[in-house]
Amino acid sequence: MMMKRSLLGGALAAAVLVSPVPAFAQQGDPVYNTRYFSDATYTVEVGFDPGTCNYWGVGSGHTGQATNYIQYQLVGYCDHGNWEPL
């Protein structure tokens, strides 16, 4: 009986350690900084949209020109005004 309990406990511990869910999962919505570029070479930045976090969720404050050539950078998470950086 003792051997079965230790095997079961070991199997349970192994399952918890190999779990695909991160130990400290982020809460809230992802916040991205968005950069806009002039063309497909992505060398000249013409616009920027920093992701913001407020009580209502994720916001933005776009400056410059918006184009179809975009790069996103995840910078954190927003949960009703609570900022959680990466």
* pLDDT of res. 34: 95
* pLDDT of res. 75: 94
CB 80 within 8 A of CB 28: yes
**How high is the mean pLDDT in each 10-residue block of the chain (86 residues)?**
49 46 67 95 96 88 94 94 89
* pLDDT of res. 59: 87
Provide the whole-model pTM.
0.63
Query: Exposed, middle or buried: residue 53 (CB in 10 Å: 0-12, 13-18, 19+)?
Result: buried
Q: How do the domains of the chain map onto residue ranges?
A: 26-85
* pLDDT of res. 67: 95
